[in-house]
Structure formats: C-alpha cells, structure tokens
Amino acid sequence: MMSAWLMAVRCQGLTPEETADMTLAMRDSGECLDLSPIGAITIDKHSTGGIGDKTTLMIAPIVASCGGYVPKMSGRGLGFTGGTIDKLESIPNFSVNLSKQDFFKQVQKIGCCIIAQSGNLTPADKKIYALRNLTATVDSIPLISASIMSKKLALGADCLLLDVKYGNGAFMKTPESAKALAESMLQVGIAHGKKCRALITDMNAPLGFAVGNALEVREAISILRFETHNALTELVLELAGQMLELSGAGSLQECKFKALHALESGKALEKFAEMITAQGGDASIIDYPERLPHAKCSKIMFADKNGYLASINSEEVGLACLTLGAGRTASNPEIDFGAGVIFLHKIGDEIRKNDILCEIHASSETLCEQAEQRLRSAMVISEMPVPEPQLIYDKI
C-alpha cells in the first residue's frame, strides 16, 4: 500500500499542506531535540550535497565567533557526495559522537558543535527512503522536501538556511528544479514556525579546489587563515552573513561585514581550534596540517593541449574520488582520509600544454592511474575563453 501511495505522490504531487503534514508525521516518528537548554536563538544550515562542499567547516566557527549559536548534526558521505562528518573524522581524535548534554554544553560555551546525526531521528524517513529506491520515486520534490525537513525539524533549531544545489554534481540537475525544491522546503519550515531562507547554488563544478576529506580540511583551514580569497570564500561569507541575519544579529550588510572581520581578525580560526579541542581533536593541525592523514601515493596530471578550462564535471570527479578511496562503496566500506584530488585551476583559467591540472592522491599508483582516466574526461579544455561561473544563482 505504501509503495502505491509513493508512486501516486510521484505522479500527482502533494499540496503544500499535505507536504507539511507528512513532514510532521515523519518528524514525530522518532526523537525530537529540545534546544531550549542552550538559552539562545539557534541557527542551522543544510546543504543538499555536492562535491567538495566543505562550507560547514568554516561557517560554524565564523558564525559562532560573531556571537551566533550553531548546534549542527551532519551526515556522512552518500554515494559520490562527501559528508561533513567524514571530513571532521579525518582530524586525529576528533569525536563526532557526544551525549545530548555535552552537545548542549559545548554550544552554550563556544557557540558551535558539529556531531553525527542520531540514529533515533525520523525512523519513518529511513523506511520510506528504502521504498523510494524500489519504487523509482526518489526524485519526487514533495518526498525529498519531507525527508530533509523532517530531520531539520527534529533537530529543533530556531532558524534554518538552506543551500540547495543544482548541476551535474547535485541531485537537482537544473536551477529551476532546485528552486522548486527550495520553495517546497521553505513552505514546510515556515508552516512549522521556523525562520527559513534558501540560496540556490551551482554544483556543476567541484566547490573549491580540494575534493577528499583531509584535503578539504586543509583547504578550509587556508580560508579560515584568510590566506585564500576566492569564489568559495565569497560563498562562505554569504552563507555566514545570511545565518547571522536570520538569527537577529543585524542587517545582512552588517552581518556579512561581521563574518569578513571574523576571518580577517583570526577569530574564526581561533573558534575552529576551540571546537576541535572541545571535541577531543588535535588542534595542532591548524599550524601543522601535515599531521592530517595523507595518501601513500600521488600523481600529477598534466594538460595535453593549450586552451581554457571550460568545465569540470562534478559527478565524474566524485566517482573518481570513490575510486581513490575517499568515499565508501559496497566493496570498500572504509575511507582513506588522505585520498582525493587537488585542482590547480578554476573554470575560465587559461591553460598551457603541460600545465599541472590536478594532483591525485591515493594508497597506490594503480588507483591514481584509474582515477586519472576519469578525471581527464571530466575536465574539458576549449579553444575559446569562457567566463568563471557564478556560484549563487538565486536567493529565496
């Protein structure tokens, strides 16, 4: 009966009221967190997933260093997309499993805490998701919306910023479908008393230059040090500013200035170190990133012609990183935290033959060579110049 109902939803859709009711029923199927012991307005951010998306690692300490409170439960990687928890676990001794009491205390004390999602949250969603795979209803916007928002509502934050991705490295392939999903989730959140906002962002190319757990932590540290200021930095500042404004810290312009000052002054980096220490991790990786896990082998991939870097297919990059061991597969459930890819160029850059396109990191030369074939096909060099894409498509 449930399978038939899911297929009917896929074909006929749900009204906003029906989607909100379904979300509430899924939320109430398990544990719901009461964040009132924190004693302040709390703000959460959710990304619909992608390749190289390390924004949470930077946003949480930036917002916390500006006086915000970010109680965050994140997930592990799914398929070819990376997970925030896997990235954090690449930091030696970092604990993502805290009791509720310790979770609350840390947010009260330092303003941010990122832990793994509880297994008691929304058990109905887990059962329905398994059926969605079997009934070809995974791409139904009402069902996606209910799945995501039931977990967000169960987590209990007062405010929610949604980063809805589109493109070849995201579940929603077009900006129009991403916008439809964002509007559905916003309607659900507002119907249940949450202060919500959404950004529609591009995932047609990896986010930033690093893909792979420890490699992405290194890149996040570089941005928190304000050594790197690029499109990813601007996206992080926009997201952090939006979160601060949602939580009542001032106008958007004021909040974005606060976020920028947190980076420039080093306060955000200090907060990141404080969070690592509070969760048992080795904060010395901030000054000595070589203490992060690193792969046994590496390989340089060179350009084979002159031109301009026209595109980097995110999905192909994600699948290449699975080959390298940066994500879990059925045959290899263990992650190689040091595996991944570092790109040396962004879309729009002029490329000369024999320029280094990327560095490939894995546990063996064979894996590097296998991934190189996929990465070479993922990177297109054109004869004509191309503009650098804008990461933010729309704000809702």
Q: Which residues of 44-76 are buried (b: 16+ CB within 10 A; e: fewer)?
A: bbbbbbbbbbbbbbbbbbbbbbbebbbbbbbeb
pLDDT recorded at residue 79? 58
pLDDT recorded at residue 81? 62
Residue with tokens 């997930």: 75
pLDDT recorded at residue 19? 86
Q: Is 46 helix (H, G, I), strand (E, B) or coil?
A: strand
Arithmetic mean of pLDDT, 18-34:
86
Whether this model's pTM surpasses 0.85:
yes
Asked whether 84 and 279 are in contact (CB, 8 A), the reply is: no
Arithmetic mean of pLDDT, 50-76:
94
Spatial separation of the C-alpha atoms in residues 296 and 361, rounded to whole Å: 8
CA distances from 341 to 22, 255, 295, 313, 322 (A): 40, 33, 11, 13, 11
Question: Residues 10, 27, 45, 46: which is the catalytic one?
Answer: 46
Catalytic, 10? Answer: no
- Of 70-74, 116-120, 226-230, the range with the lowest mean pLDDT is 116-120
Spatial separation of the C-alpha atoms in residues 276 and 281, rounded to whole Å: 5
- Among 279, 271, 327, 342, CA closest to 91: 279
Count of all residues that appear for the chain in the document: 396
Question: Residues 54, 72, 132, 271: which is the catalytic one?
Answer: 132
Question: Residues 44, 53, 86, 125: which is the catalytic one?
Answer: 125
Catalytic, 132? Answer: yes
pLDDT recorded at residue 87? 95
Question: Residues 54, 87, 151, 267: which is the catalytic one?
Answer: 151
pLDDT in tens, 184-226: 999 999 988 899 999 999 999 999 999 999 999 999 999 999 9
Question: Residues 147, 150, 184, 247: which is the catalytic one?
Answer: 147
Arithmetic mean of pLDDT, 256-262:
97
Catalytic, 125? Answer: yes
Say if residue 126's pLDDT is above 80: no
How do beta strands 392-395 and 195-202 pair?
antiparallel
Beta-carbon-side half-sphere exposure of residue 207 (alpha carbons within 13 Å)? 29
CA 31 to chain centre: 24
State the pLDDT confidence band at 13, using cuts at 50, 70 and 90. confident
State the pLDDT confidence band at 281, using cuts at 50, 70 and 90. very high
Asked whether 392 and 201 are in contact (CB, 8 A), the reply is: yes
pLDDT recorded at residue 148? 87
Say if residue 24's pLDDT is above 90: no
Spatial separation of the C-alpha atoms in residues 27 and 191, rounded to whole Å: 14
Q: Which residue did the predictor score with more confidence, 6 or 162?
A: 162
Domains of the chain: 2-286 (3.40.1030.10), 293-382 (3.90.1170.30)
**DSSP 8-class letter at 360:** E
Asked whether 87 and 210 are in contact (CB, 8 A), the reply is: no
pLDDT recorded at residue 82? 67
State the pLDDT confidence band at 113, using cuts at 50, 70 and 90. very high
Helix orientation angle between 252-265 and 55-65, rounded to the nearest 10 degrees: 100
Q: Is 344 helix (H, G, I), strand (E, B) or coil?
A: coil
End-to-end CA distance of the chain: 36
Arithmetic mean of pLDDT, 114-123:
83
pLDDT in tens, 381-391: 999 999 999 99
In terms of C-beta density within 10 A (0-12 exposed, 13-18 middle, 19 or more buried), how is residue 192 classed? middle
Catalytic, 291? Answer: no
Average pLDDT, the chain: 91
- CA gyration radius, the chain: 21
State the pLDDT confidence band at 125, using cuts at 50, 70 and 90. confident
Arithmetic mean of pLDDT, 235-244:
97
pLDDT recorded at residue 133? 63
pLDDT in tens, 308-353: 999 999 999 999 999 999 887 766 778 899 999 999 999 999 999 9
Asked whether 346 and 311 are in contact (CB, 8 A), the reply is: no
In terms of C-beta density within 10 A (0-12 exposed, 13-18 middle, 19 or more buried), how is residue 302 classed? exposed
Catalytic, 46? Answer: yes
pLDDT recorded at residue 225? 95
